[in-house]
Amino acid sequence: MIVCREEEHLSHLVILSFSCDYSRKLHYVLCLLFIQLLVRMAVRSKGYPYGVGIWNTPFVGSKYKKDRLAELNRRKQTIDPSETLNPHKFFRIKGRFFSIPALFMRPFSFRMIMAISHFFAPVLGLAARLLEPKPSDGWKVPEKEEEQGRSLLHQSAQRCTSCGSCISVCPAYHITKDELVTGRTKLRLAEAMMNGAELKQAEAHSPFQCLHCGLCEEVCQTHLPLRDCYLVLEDWIANRFGSPVEIVQEFVEKLDSNREYIKDIFGLDLPEWSPDEKLSRVPDAERRSEGGRE
């Protein structure tokens, strides 16, 4: 809780957080409902949401008076008439399935849902506790051979916070300037493949531009087994789209022209390869024995 003093009054900013697994859909929905009930309690205590958006739209009347809300609505229509910025998330909520789910976020229907949920809160709380995943001492990392790597990639993608730490230390990203070669984007690509999304061949082949050096694993705050994930993902892509020999060859040529840069900045020694060799994957880079990263 953060407390700020404004003249003679104290203002409080309360930020509550808890972990939940969105793959457990019922438990996840109960957690979201719990958050909304907390906001409802805060609003009834003369508080208001610190921000606006799709989840706080039902409470917007507690933050802005009607004239101020009308002014913001007019300004939104003037500045962004096509609703390009954060579309359908505020003022007029829209969604999939003919926007039927969005009806539940309308203030009138939302108030009814909150009143019913508040009445049944003890039962809903008990259900949430019963459905809560059992705590564990650590994450049992699936083997990359298990379910052809599906479990490994699925669980790793779920645990990825998309913080971007893997980007700054990735030699391939610094050479290509393409975020498709970075760890977090590869995991999102794996999710897309598991969900049956349509992919372009060029996009799918980009992850092969990788040195498998492991620098991303070192900085990963969730300690994900990224190199094993990359190997599984590359196998998936090769089976579906074929081996990207031309893309790998172009990448190898870029690496050749940046050997000293990669050695000095990242502490990596690139293996020697024949210019005539047709590579389907980039050979792994090795750490320098002295003066490099350990």
Question: What ranges do the domains of the chain cover?
Answer: 2-131, 146-287
DSSP letter at 276?
T
Euclidean distance between the first and final Cα of the chain, in Å? 40
DSSP state string for 259-274? HHHHHHHH-EEPPP--
Neighbours of 206 (CB within 10 A): 24
Whether pTM > 0.85 for this model: the answer is: no
189 in Cβ contact with 207 (< 8 Å): yes
State the DSSP H helix or E strand holding residue 59, giving kind and residue range, or none if neither: none
Q: What is the pLDDT of residue 21?
A: 67
pLDDT per position in the chain (294 positions), as tens?
445 556 666 677 777 666 666 667 788 888 888 888 888 888 888 887 877 777 777 888 888 888 988 898 888 889 888 877 777 666 666 666 666 767 777 777 888 888 898 899 899 889 888 888 776 666 788 888 888 899 999 999 988 988 889 999 999 999 999 999 999 999 999 999 998 888 888 888 899 999 999 999 999 988 999 999 999 999 999 998 888 888 999 999 999 899 999 999 999 998 887 766 777 888 888 876 544 444
DSSP letter at 141?
P
Nearest-angstrom CA–CA distance, 158 and 178: 23
Q: Which residues contact 194 (CB under 8 A, 6 or more apart)?
A: 150, 153, 154
265 in Cβ contact with 293 (< 8 Å): no
In the CATH hierarchy, which top-level class contains the domain 146-287? mainly alpha
Nearest-angstrom CA–CA distance, 158 and 184: 11
Neighbours of 147 (CB within 10 A): 12
Name the nearest CA neighbour of 179 among 195, 162, 193, 196. Answer: 162
